[in-house]
Amino acid sequence: KSCTNQGVDANLITNSYDLQIDKECILYERSLSDANDQMVSTIRNAKSVLQKARLLVSQQKNVYDMRGCINALDSCMQDEFVCGTDYENCLDPTGRYIVNGAIVLGSQPGHAIDPTSATTSGVMTSDVCAVNLYRTWDMPGVSCSGGAGNAWNSNETLANYIEQTVTATAAKKNSTNLSEYLQNKIGYNDGDRNYGMCMSVLNKCQDYTYGKDKKYNPTNDVIKQYLSRVLIQIKAKQDQILSDYADSCVADVTSCLSQNNYPSTASAVSSNSMLANIAINACRPTIVTCMSVNGFSTKSPSPSEIAQWVCGIEFPNSTECGNVTTPDTTSYNIAWNVVGGSVSNCPTVYTPGSTISCNPNVPSNAQFVGWCSDNGLSNCVGGTSVTFNSTDTGNTQLYAKWECVSGYEKYGNVCVAQTSEQPTGDCSSTNLGACDQPGCTNLGNSYKWCSTADDTTLRCRLASDCPNYVQVTIYNQ
C-alpha cells in the first residue's frame, strides 16, 4: 500500500513475481521429467540385462546334448587330478593291485581272463571270483561264487551291472566297487552345493541330469551311458596290464634269482635248499606276483609251491622239480580252550608239519577225550597229541572234549554224582529242602535245581548259590 501511495503500479510488481515463479516451476517440472525419463531408461536397461543373464543361465544349464555331455564328462574324468589319461589312476579302487597304471609288487591281482575263451592258464574263465582284481566288478550285495554275481561272468551283462550299481546313494560313499568308485569321483548335487570333481559338467546338461522338480537325479542316463563306454575301456586296460606283466615277470624273477645266487641245477636246489631259500626269499615279492598273474595261484602260495614253481621256470626240462619242497618254518599262535578246566605248560605256538601235545586240566570226575578243531566238538582227534599238516598256516584254536567218568553225569560244566534221591513234597523259599524238581522250577527264576562243588547232589537252591561256569578262551603267550 505504501508503494501505491508513492505512485507505483502494484499489478506490475505482482505480475513480475508471477512470471518468475512460472519460470521456476517450468524448470523444476522439466528436471522431474528428465529424471523420470532417465529412471525409465535405467529400468529398461536393467530388464534387458536381467533377461540376457537369465538367458545365459538357461543356456549354461544345457550347453551339451546327451552325446556332448558324455564326452565332456569323459574328458573331465581323465584330468590328471581325477583319473588321469586312460584312467590309469582309477583302474583299481582298492589300491592293492594297480597303482598309477602299474602292478603293485608283492600283490596278488590274479590273471587276465577273456570271457569269450574257455580257459586261461587252466582256470575257468567263469570263475572270475578267483581273480582278486576282478572282485571290484562284483554286484553289490551278492556273494561272488563260481563267477555268479560278477559283471564279467559269462551269464551276466555289463548293462545289468550298471543298473544295479547306479543308485541314489552310490556317489555319496567311498567304495571298492568300480562303478560306485567312479560315481563318487564324478560327484553329485544335494540341492545346495556341488560335490565331486566333475559335477560341473552334469550341471551343463540338466535336461538329462535333473528331474522335473529341478533336483539332480543321481541315476540319470548320462551317468549310465558314460559308464557303458568307460567301464569296457577300464576292463581292457586291466587285462592289458595283467597280461603285459605276466609276459615280462618271469624274466624279472630269473634275473633276481641269478643276482641272489640261486643254485644252477635242480639237483643242487634239492641238495642245498638253504641257498635256494635265501634267493627265493630275496625275490619273494616278484615271485608271488608273477605266480598270480600267470594263473598259477589264486591265493597265497605255500613255501613248497613257490619252491617248485621257481625250480620249474629255472629248469623247465628237469624231472626233479616236483620233489622240491620248502618246509614252512614260520611259527603260528595256538590257543587251547578247556570249558570248565584249564591248561598249563602247553605250547603256545606251532609250525606246519609239526606234532605237539597238551594234556589239559579237566573238571573233577571227568576224563579227557581229545582235541577238536571246532567249538561244537564234532571234528576231534583222540589223545593229547595234535599233528599239523605242512599246508596248515595261521593262528588257530583247539577245543578240549571231555566226558564224565562212570557214576557221574554232566551238569553244566561239571560232573555230579548220579543219584535217584530227590527231596519230595511242597517247597517254598523258606523250605527248599522239601522241594522236588517241578516245585523248585515253579518258584521262579530265583531258584534252580543244581549241585555245588561242596554238595554234588541235585537239590533246589537259590540261583545265586548254583555254579555259574562260563567258557574262557585261554591264550598262553
Element (H, E) at 209: helix 206-209
Question: Using 50, 70 and 90 to split pLDDT, how confident is the model at 13?
Answer: confident
43 phi and psi angles, rounded to 5 deg? -65, -40
Q: Pick the closest to residue 411 from 471, 363, 344, 369 (CA basis).
A: 363
DSSP 10-35: HHHHHHHHHHHHHHHHHHHHHHHHHH
SS (H, E, C) 234-258: HHHHHHHHHHHHHHHHHHHHHHHHH
Q: Choose between 415 and 185: higher pLDDT.
A: 185
Lowest mean pLDDT among 40-49, 56-65, 231-240, 308-317: 56-65
The predicted pLDDT at position 469 comes to 38
Average pLDDT of the residues in 256-272? 88
Whether the predicted pLDDT of 104 surpasses 70: yes
Residue 42: pLDDT over 70: yes
Between residues 466 and 294, the one the model is more confident about: 294
By percentage, how much of the chain surpasses pLDDT 90?
A: 39
Express each pLDDT in 323-360 by its tens digit: 665 555 567 788 899 988 899 888 888 877 778 889 99
Query: What is the C-alpha to C-alpha distance for residues 66 and 205, in angstroms, rounded to an integer?
Result: 7
Cβ-proximal residues to 195 (8 Å cutoff; 6+ apart), any chain: 171, 172, 187, 188, 189
Say whether pLDDT at 239 is over 80: yes
Rounded average pLDDT over 409-436: 64
* Residue 475 pLDDT greater than 60, yes or no: no
CA-CA distance, 175 to 234, in Å (whole number)?
Answer: 16
More confident residue, 271 or 235: 235
Task: State what percent of residues in the chain have pLDDT above 70.
Answer: 81
CA 173, CA 361: separation in Å to the nearest integer?
A: 52
Place of cell 567258557: 471
295: left (phi over 0), alpha (psi -120 to 50) or beta: left
Average pLDDT, the chain: 82
The helix-helix angle for 221-259 and 66-77 (nearest 10°) equals: 30
Q: What is the mean pLDDT of residues 138-142?
A: 84
pTM: 0.58
Per-residue pLDDT, 470: 34
Asked if 476 contacts 336 with a C-beta cutoff of 8 angstroms, the reply is yes
Q: How confident is the model at residue 227 (pLDDT cuts 50, 70, 90)?
A: very high
Beta bridge partners of 119: 124
pLDDT for 1 equals 60
How far apart are alpha carbons 36 and 270 in whole angstroms?
107
Amino acid 376: pLDDT: 85
Task: List C-alpha distances in Å: 268 to 262, 284, 315.
Answer: 9, 20, 11
Rounded CA-CA distance 403/384 in Å is: 15
Of residues 77 and 156, the one with the higher pLDDT is 77
Amino acid residing at 252: D
Amino acid making up residue 192: D
DSSP state letters, 322-349: GG--------EEEEEE-TT-B--S--SE
The DSSP-derived string for 269-288 is: HHHTHHHHHHHHHHTHHHHH
For the chain, what is the radius of gyration of the CA atoms? 43
Distance CA 372, CA 398 (A): 6
128 in Cβ contact with 138 (< 8 Å): no
Of residues 124 and 74, more confidence is placed in 74
Residue type, 194: N
Whether 347 and 326 have beta carbons less than 8 Å apart is answered as no
Among 82-96, 255-269, 339-353, name the one with the lowest average pLDDT. Answer: 339-353
Q: How far apart are CA 22 and CA 14, in angstroms?
A: 12
Q: What is the pLDDT of residue 325?
A: 57
- Are 377 and 368 contacting, i.e. CB atoms less than 8 angstroms apart? no
Dihedral sign from CA coordinates of 133, 104, 352, 322: positive
pLDDT at 447: 74
Report pLDDT for 358: 92
Average pLDDT over residues 178-206: 95
Q: What is the pLDDT of residue 123?
A: 42
Higher pLDDT pick, 416 / 194: 194
pLDDT at 186: 97
User: Which residue is listed with cell 599246508?
Assistant: 391
Q: How far apart are CA 277 and CA 76, in angstroms?
A: 49
Are the C-beta atoms of 455 and 470 separated by less than 8 Å? no
Answer whether residue 268 shows pLDDT above 90.
no
Number of Cβ within a 10 Å radius of residue 322: 11
Q: Give the residue with greater pLDDT, 447 vs 391.
A: 447
CA dist., res. 416 & res. 458, Å (int) = 8
